[in-house]
Amino acid sequence: MDLQQHLKKYAELILKVGLNVLPGDKLIIRLDEYGLPLAREIARQAYALGAHDIYLAFADDQITLARYLLAPEEAFGTRPAFFAEFMEAAYLDNYHFLALNAPNPELLRDADPRRISNWNRVLSKANEQVARYSMENRIKWCIACLPSPAWAKAVFPALGEDEAVAALWQKIFEATRVTMPDPVAAWQAHEVQLKRRVNFLNEQAFEKLLYRGPGTDLEVCLPEGHVWMGGSSRIPRGDVFMPNIPTEEVFSMPHAYKVNGLLQATMPLSTSGRLIEGMRFVFKDGAVVDFDASSSREILEDLLNTDEGARRLGEVALVGDDSPISRTGLLFKNTLFDENASCHFALGKAYSESHVRGNEMTAEEKRAAGMNDSLIHVDFMVGGPQLEVVGVKADGARVTLLRSGNWVV
């Protein structure tokens, strides 16, 4: 594998498909030390496309871990307002956001779970206003991943560090179609397929979805006016962009107050530097009324206690078990990849674009329409080869959407 050549193609894909960089655009890139080679290539290509400025938001895992382990308790109580104010000012000045994630799935394994939960709540509250710029697609934003040694070893524990990183790079390039002769053209064709499914689901106007699988027997009502989305999104001035690379999902919003039954996750959830395994939920009138997990239960409990909306669903997403990412046979221990190998839900805030009037309604109107609101939006996976999903129309007609985990329509 020619890593440098693939990095050039990956950077081109991120800029032309992910962010759709146009002359005059400016970028904020969040990265760590492992993202520098890719970020440098992105910068070269972005400026050649007419970008005016690139601001780097740098983070380091070891410094993050040191804070959780050694900082005084009062360090986790507040977040200065100027951080969010800076980001909002940048977004208003035509900056757009790129996250180059090189995660460590268990970075905070030895940290105090109470500190993790407290800081997550503080961050979520401090960033509430600025988070709307991405949640409501006021800016172009994109998330793409690259290997860290820790992530690579988590996925390929039997390999040495260098071999694991190379193997994970190869899987990332395959999953993002970078290994194809023309990745941009391949994504344009993929976009057509995703929109075809989106159009079908919107034409059906299902009243609810029924999920059946091991540990799962769930009824998910959909709000009147819900909209299925998938692939690209659009900002108010008309620019089209691809928020996630890779993406295989079509998604909408469940009714926040009309979800009932049992739901069992089929993959671990990597969040806040910890892995939560074996998650199980009981829903009644849209809310989680009982739950459990085989590991890191306290992290899940604190997540659900973030606010009232954290116990309700904000996203329902359909993905075939035969997606390119699923066919790798790997558990990536990374939500961006695992959610595109599996049907999933999200606890917390709903995307406004998932309702026909989502960006026009007041908070009260959104609540009345069944749109969930929360400080969090956390995806977790529920798909697999034994899952069946059936759509039910207002007249009671049923349409099987997925059988044995895969699309049948």
In the chain, where the domains are located: 3-175, 203-407
What are the b/e assignments for 158-182, b being 16+ CB within 10 Å?
eeeeeebbbbbbbbbbbbbbbeeee
Cβ neighbours for 139, distance < 8 A, ≥ 6 positions apart: 91, 95, 96, 97, 133, 235
Question: Is 147 within 8 Å of 159 (Cβ atoms)?
Answer: no
Its sign, for the CA torsion 337, 340, 346, 350, is positive
Distance CA 125, CA 372 (A): 16
Rounded to two decimals, the pTM is: 0.90
Question: In this structure, which CATH number among 3.40.50.720, 3.40.1830.10, 3.40.190.10, 3.30.70.2860 belongs to the domain 3-175?
Answer: 3.40.1830.10
CA distance 352 to 360: 9
What pLDDT score does 409 carry?
85
**What is the spatial distance between Cα 363 and Cα 371, in angstroms, rounded to a whole number?**
9
- Name the CA dihedral angle for 265, 267, 270, 271, rounded to a multiple of 10 degrees: -10
pLDDT at 41: 98
Dihedrals φ, ψ of 170, to 5°? -60, -45
Stated as kind and residue range, the H or E segment containing 197 is helix 183-204
Beta strands 216-221 and 208-213: pairing type?
antiparallel
Mean pLDDT by 10 residues, the chain (409 residues): 94 98 98 98 98 98 97 96 98 98 93 90 93 94 98 96 97 95 96 96 98 98 96 96 96 98 95 91 98 95 94 97 89 91 95 90 93 94 96 97 95
Residue 343 confidence (pLDDT) = 96
CA distance 255 to 233: 22
Q: Which two three-digit tokens encode residue 270?
A: 């990597």
**Which one-letter amino acid corresponds to residue 265?**
A
